Structure 1
Amino acid sequence: MPERTNQYDENEHSYRTYWQDRSYEHDAEVAALRSLLDGRRFGHAADVGGGYGRLVPVLREFADHVTLVDSSRKQLSDAEEFLAGETNVAMRLMSAGRLGMDEASVDLVTMIRVMHHLPDPVPALSEIARLLRPGGIAVIESANLAHAANRVRYAARRQRIPTEPVDIRSAENRERDSIPFVNHHPRKVAEQLAAAGLTVERTLSVSNLRSSKLKKFVPHQALARAEGALQSPLAKVSFGPSMFFLARKAG
């Protein structure tokens, strides 16, 4: 079997370019973070799997110091350019499942757009819990297996939505053994967070209006306002393709 490739280290792959045409999704995630962190202040935050630092400027609004963690040297190299104007930001080359940072050294940990690469997220969630100080906060994003459109698809086939992660890679990418791409059931994620010692206090449904047609015909600001208003109520039914979990470590 060919050796697994990490697309984020490939020279022809630009994660920054990937986000250029995804301003709606980016703004939806920024809105979710600001909603969840509103009124809070942290000394030290860590953004696990943060890529080129897309969300670090948002985290700096709430944290005195941010450590950007990623397993890709290329992403961290891109982050040096992207975050050149930011202060109190450190960068560390580490994987989510082996975070070489001191126990109970961080007040806030975020992990956004990473769970879909983790068929088994338990090691990463356990590491996040280890890093957090007692009472610390984790914000975890997960690609939602139980989103509304998927529920319709499964119902049409008279099937239940699995609670275990579902690999959505193409047959070609499976053959190449490319990095995993899975969707998680939100109920299972909440259980895994609890098992790691993190109690979910709030959830948001994110990117609820993600649609090429809506993006084409509805002004961006109108979509952004509607998205912000829908994130909390639609979380009750796990509507959107992305779920954000705010969880707290006991103490």
Structure 2
Amino acid sequence: MQLAIENLDHHYGSAQSLRSISFEIGDGQCLTLLGRNGAGKTTMLRCLTGLLKPSGGRITLDGTDITAWPSFRRCRGGIGYVPQGREIFSDLSVGENLLISYKAHGGKDSAVLDEVCEMFPVLRQMWRRRGGDLSGGQQQQLAIGRALMGRPRLLVLDEPTEGIQPNIVKAIEAVIASLKGRISILLVEQYFDFAQTLADRYVVLNRGSVVAAGAGKDMDKNELSRFLSI
């Protein structure tokens, strides 16, 4: 799936939070969106997923303008979203969290559940455990697994390493790496090394504007550190 963001603006009242944001993600590419807290990253994602209405510009998927589409239509159109903070159903079991997503996407692709549990074996091990009783890293794996139940063509990840122990970060990194080339990925991240490892391309936001962009192989920690919390 190809994503194009074109001159996107957003306002919270009279305060402008995004200013003429433009970037593209090619089919099967991973683009990392970097910036410190308050740079506009999450606002950008909420505009992309339909949770916020942009003030100007447009969003296209495979050439189709989806700027006015509601969130549910974007989900059905192939966007999977893992929000910051995970937002799993804490009172439901791991299995129930996954099956809700499975049924919401039609419940016809029985192979997807096995594939998700192969990516994250802990989900099958914790199948009956309440989501709220999992560790932060386990919850993040559940949140990503839940998003993958719909076989998205674009996976959007908001700060997947935040508050996660290093061994789980490595497991998440391996899963994202395995998905590259099969689906497109938009990864919002502050952890430079994690982002650099996965990025085909990168974009840096600062105060709601794009201040740097390029190929992942050209990411320079010294050059970009002034825009990041490292």
Q: TM range, normalised to the smaller chain?
A: 0.3 to 0.5
After TM superposition, the score normalised by the length of structure 2 is 0.39
After TM superposition, the score normalised by the length of structure 1 is 0.36
